[in-house]
Amino acid sequence: MKYGSIFLIFLAIVISSWLQSCKKSSIIDEKKFIKIYADMIFMQDTSSLSQLTIKEKVLEKFKVSENDYDNTIKFYNDDPEKWQPFFDSVIVYIERIKPIPRKIDGRSLPEQSVSVDKKNP
């Protein structure tokens, strides 16, 4: 009987460890999560879609399940200090991919067509 209870405790520990490792495997890679989050921000700023629809479309684009997304949010919420470096990385990513505005000056404007007709100088 004593060995049976020790075996059950050992089995419970093994199963618990296995479940914890499965949970961690469903957390989205940070680089991918940064892109997902940035896409959601862009779509919220440029689209009239609901937040739920935006979330569904972005997760579909990146082939991520809602469960994995929710587990990743929980992972960051469990240690709130992880959010600041994450947000910093999102800002860097957005700055890197956003189009660079071009300054308009005389050299970048198209040349005006000049008439070859002698009547119109």
Q: What confidence score (pLDDT) does residue 91 get? A: 94
Taking Cα atoms as reference points, which of 39, 38, 33, 43 lies closest to residue 75? 33
Report the alpha-carbon distance of residue 101 to residue 95 in Å, rounded.
12
| pLDDT tens by residue, the chain, 121 residues | 565 666 556 656 766 665 665 555 589 999 999 999 999 999 998 889 999 999 999 999 999 999 999 999 999 999 999 999 999 999 999 999 877 666 666 565 555 555 555 555 5
Tokens of 65: 């399940």
Q: What is the pTM of this model?
A: 0.62
Report the alpha-carbon distance of residue 27 to residue 20 in Å, rounded.
12
Tokens of 42: 């862009």
